[in-house]
């Protein structure tokens, strides 16, 4: 099956949203609008997983262990490589050794630092082959019932936030539901997508009005992000479904503006753009610059470094005859 460009473009939009909030915009509305970025990334992982199953028969060809190793190479090893690079850069710039506990906590993803998102992706990816066969046999109505019950129970158990169980399981439950939604989206009829969109709009609006009446102000959904609660997830689902419905129109607009390939490139190299924005963000926060200047500096430099990195990797693999080594280098350094 041909690569769906709209997936890369939506992934690019999600990455932009993540970098936006890390650059700390002054506008509360801008902070709120982009509060769908990580769920959108996970949703698109579900969409992509369905396509990869159709194309590669992942589990049939090599078994579950081979699949997990592949995801480990694609997600965990690049993170460890980046942490090594980040530690070296930190030592060079500050003339101090980086705290080894900080490195270890992030290497094992027992953290709320920037790499927490990789933990979410990895946990979901290793659960995917176990979840998808069950979901594939279920009707949309059954999936909705299971998801609703799960979210109701989750509202109670999500209060446990002081253990590794929180990082490994509890925090990931809502994201698994976003993955499930993405994995079935190809077989959901348009009218049911619109129905889900209407339900999510109603749910978010009802919760927003309720919280406003209690707090006397507009409550940001990010307040309910750690762990993801219903107020946060309903808003994220509303935005995700809306973007999914209009994704081809977005592609048409970008094509008309000559930006389609630009967004596609970013969307297909998100992991290293994300990694490189971290040290650049550390630098940008020390400058007395506006949010807009910070965003364009951070995103622009991260993109430029990633492009340069890809050029180097391409030149190296051209000189290699070992197919496995070529594949590993591309997985590690190109995503």
What are the pLDDT digits (tens) for 90-136? 999 988 999 889 988 888 887 778 999 999 999 999 999 888 888 88
Contact 37, 18 (CB under 8 A): yes
Query: Helix, strand or coil for residue 21?
Result: helix
pLDDT in tens, 161-175: 556 666 677 788 899
Closest CA to 164 of 119, 126, 195: 119
pLDDT score for 56: 46
**Of the candidates 135, 111, 125, which has an alpha carbon nearest to the alpha carbon of residue 42?**
125
Distance CA 254, CA 252 (A): 5
Q: Specify the higher pLDDT residue, 120 or 137.
A: 120
What's the per-residue H, E or C state across 185-233?
Answer: HHHCCHHHHHHHHHHHHHHHHHHHHHHHHHHCCCCCHHHHCCCCCHHHH
Ramachandran angles phi, psi of 161, nearest 5°: -125, 10
Question: What's the pLDDT tens digit per position in 190-205?
Answer: 999 999 999 999 999 9
Q: Average pLDDT in the 67-83 region? A: 94
Radius of gyration for the alpha carbons in the chain, expressed in angstroms and rounded: 20
Residue 246 clears pLDDT 90, i.e. is over it: yes
Asked if the model's pLDDT at residue 156 lies above 80, the reply is: no
Q: Mean pLDDT over residues 174-198, rounded?
A: 92
Average pLDDT, the chain: 90
Q: Are 329 and 316 in contact (CB under 8 A)?
A: yes
Taking each helix axis as running N to C, give the angle between helix 116-136 and helix 58-71, from 0 to 180 degrees, rounded to the nearest 10: 170
Lowest-confidence pick of 21-25, 106-110, 207-211, 330-334: 106-110
Judged by average pLDDT, the poorest of 27-36, 168-177, 218-227 is: 168-177
Q: Give the pLDDT score at 108.
A: 85
pLDDT at 161: 58
Q: How confident is the model at residue 299 (pLDDT cuts 50, 70, 90)?
A: very high
CB atoms under 10 Å from CB of 334, counted, come to 17
Higher pLDDT, 156 or 303: 303
CA–CA separation, 141 and 195 (whole Å): 12
Question: pLDDT-based confidence at 159, cuts 50/70/90?
Answer: low
Q: Decide which of 234 and 110 is more confident.
A: 234
Q: What is the pLDDT of residue 152?
A: 80
Instruction: Check: CB of residue 225 under 8 Å from CB of residue 35.
Output: yes
pLDDT in tens, 33-55: 999 999 999 999 999 998 887 54
């Amino acid at each position: 099956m041909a690569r769906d460009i709209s997936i890369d473009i939506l992934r690019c939009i999600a990455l932009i949203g993540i970098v936006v909030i890390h650059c700390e915009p002054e506008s509360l509305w801008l902070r709120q609008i982009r509060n769908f970025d990580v769920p959108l990334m996970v949703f698109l992982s579900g969409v992509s997983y369905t396509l990869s199953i159709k194309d590669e028969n992942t589990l049939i060809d090599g078994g579950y262990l081979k699949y997990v190793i592949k995801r480990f190479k694609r997600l965990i090893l690049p993170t460890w490589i980046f942490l090594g690079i980040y530690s070296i850069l930190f030592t060079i710039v500050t003339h101090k050794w980086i705290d080894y506990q900080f490195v270890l906590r992030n290497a094992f993803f027992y953290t709320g630092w920037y790499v927490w998102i990789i933990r979410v992706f990895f946990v979901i990816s290793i659960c995917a082959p176990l979840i998808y066969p069950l979901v594939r046999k279920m009707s949309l109505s059954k999936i909705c019932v299971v998801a609703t019950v799960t979210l109701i129970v989750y509202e109670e158990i999500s209060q446990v936030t002081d253990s590794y169980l929180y990082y490994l399981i509890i925090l990931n439950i809502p994201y698994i539901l976003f993955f499930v939604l993405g994995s079935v989206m190809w077989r959901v009829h348009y009218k049911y997508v619109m129905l889900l969109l209407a339900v999510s709009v109603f749910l978010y609006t009802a919760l927003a009005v309720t919280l406003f009446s209690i707090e006397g102000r507009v409550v940001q959904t990010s307040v309910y992000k750690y762990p993801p609660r219903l107020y946060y997830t309903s808003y994220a689902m509303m935005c995700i479904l809306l973007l999914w419905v209009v994704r081809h129109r977005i592609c048409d607009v970008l094509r008309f503006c000559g930006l389609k390939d630009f967004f596609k490139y970013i969307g297909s190299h998100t992991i290293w753009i994300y990694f490189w924005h971290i040290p650049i963000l550390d630098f940008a926060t020390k400058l007395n610059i506006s949010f807009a200047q910070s965003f364009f500096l951070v995103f622009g430099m991260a993109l430029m470094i990633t492009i340069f990195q890809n050029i180097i990797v391409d030149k190296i693999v051209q000189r290699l005859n070992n197919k496995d080594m070529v594949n590993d280098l591309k997985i590690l350094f190109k995503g």
